[in-house]
Amino acid sequence: MISEIKYKKQICEIGKRIYEKGLVAANDGNISIRLGDNEFLITPTGVSKGFMTPEMILKIDGQGNVLDGDYRPTSEMKMHLLVYQERRDVQAIVHVHPPYATAFAIAGIPLDQAIMPEAVVYVGTIPIAEYGTPSTEEVPNAVKKFVHHHQGVLLENHGALTWGKDLEHAYYLMESLEFTAKINWISKQLNGDRDLSKKHVQTLVKMKSKMGIEGNTPLGADTSEGIHAKKITPPLESSLSENDLNMIVDRVTKNVLDEFKKLF
């Protein structure tokens, strides 16, 4: 199947990028793509994601049975399958251990501080899913409550997970998430992580509808200018209403103030 080979190559290409960008070390991380209702491509365990070849990629079903491939699938596949199960619109998932975002996950600080327009509009708030023992049902269970209203989560004391409408989208969300965490950290060293005002955040949220994205979307969208303009596709549709958005804006503002009080 031509598209299957194409997707396997794309997984290898993204694997190279996550490895070279230092989002993972050694054999860490995993990537998957939805092929159909009950068929998925997923990366193997015990292999560096920077040096994969297409024949290493496995085909599995929704229960995690291997349909095709000689390697063993990642032990973290349950959290991938949970996201696909809960979100029929999700086509690809990236899981890595990005240093800055993971440090936030370890410190117990969610990425919900409205400090940069791109982060507010494109990535949205990234909550922390409570710690689960790797490879057990605890991990998907912890992710489950966030999967419908976010584009990714931090995994407590572990790493980060993003999902998207295609693999490039999921990858760019991860890149932006880590970038936001990094800037957030650096600005804290300068004692200067001043948040955007509630009014500014609301303006950004409203911009999304003007960008031709109909219906309800998460706190994330393509901007017509800026660093993501050319490569990023619009976010997935989700069930956020105007009320939900206002609630999130209120919560972001409150969290910013709370975190600020804690830190200084």
We find the least distance from the C-beta atom of residue 28 to Zn ion, in angstroms, to be 6
3-class state of residue 159 by DSSP = strand
Total of residues contacting Zn ion (CB under 5 A): 1
Q: Which residues pair with 95 in a beta bridge?
A: 30, 161
130 assigned to active site: no
What's at 162, amino acid-wise?
A: T
User: Which helix (H) or strand (E) covers residue 93, if one does?
Assistant: strand 92-96
Site for Zn ion in 3-42 (CB under 5 A): none
Q: For residue 215, give the DSSP letter.
A: S
Q: Which residue in the block uniquely carries the two structure tokens 């995994």? A: 155
Q: Which residues pair with 137 in a beta bridge?
A: none
We find the least distance from the C-beta atom of residue 141 to Zn ion, in angstroms, to be 16
We find the least distance from the C-beta atom of residue 29 to Zn ion, in angstroms, to be 7
Q: Which is nearer to Zn ion, 98 or 164 (CB)?
A: 98
Q: Which ranges constitute the DSSP H helices of the chain? A: 2-20, 77-86, 99-107, 117-118, 138-144, 167-189, 198-210, 242-263
We find the least distance from the C-beta atom of residue 76 to Zn ion, in angstroms, to be 5
Q: Which is nearer to Zn ion, 76 or 193 (CB)?
A: 76
Cα–Cα dist 31/167, whole Å: 9
Which is catalytic among the residues 13, 20, 55, 76?
76
Supply the DSSP string of 99-126, one letter for each residue: HHHHHHHHHT--B-----HHIIIII--B
Q: Which is nearer to Zn ion, 50 or 234 (CB)?
A: 50
Residue nearest to Zn ion as judged by C-beta position = 159
C-beta of residue 93 within 8 angstroms of C-beta of residue 43: no
Cα–Cα dist 69/57, whole Å: 7
We find the least distance from the C-beta atom of residue 39 to Zn ion, in angstroms, to be 23
We find the least distance from the C-beta atom of residue 139 to Zn ion, in angstroms, to be 9
Q: Which two tokens stand for residue 251?
A: 């919560």
Site for Zn ion in 77-116 (CB under 5 A): none
Give the per-residue contact string, 143-182, with Zn ion (x = CB under 5 A; - = no). ----------------x-----------------------
Q: Which two tokens stand for residue 10?
A: 């794309």
Q: Which is nearer to Zn ion, 95 or 228 (CB)?
A: 95
Please enumerate in sequence order all residues whose Cβ is within 8 A of that of 100, keeping only pairs 6 or more positions apart, or say none. 178, 181, 182, 184, 185
Q: Which is nearer to Zn ion, 72 or 231 (CB)?
A: 72
Q: Which is nearer to Zn ion, 159 or 220 (CB)?
A: 159
Site for Zn ion in 209-238 (CB under 5 A): none
Q: Binding to Zn ion by residue 124, rule CB under 5 A?
A: no
Catalytic residues: 76
Site for Zn ion, rule CB under 5 A: 159
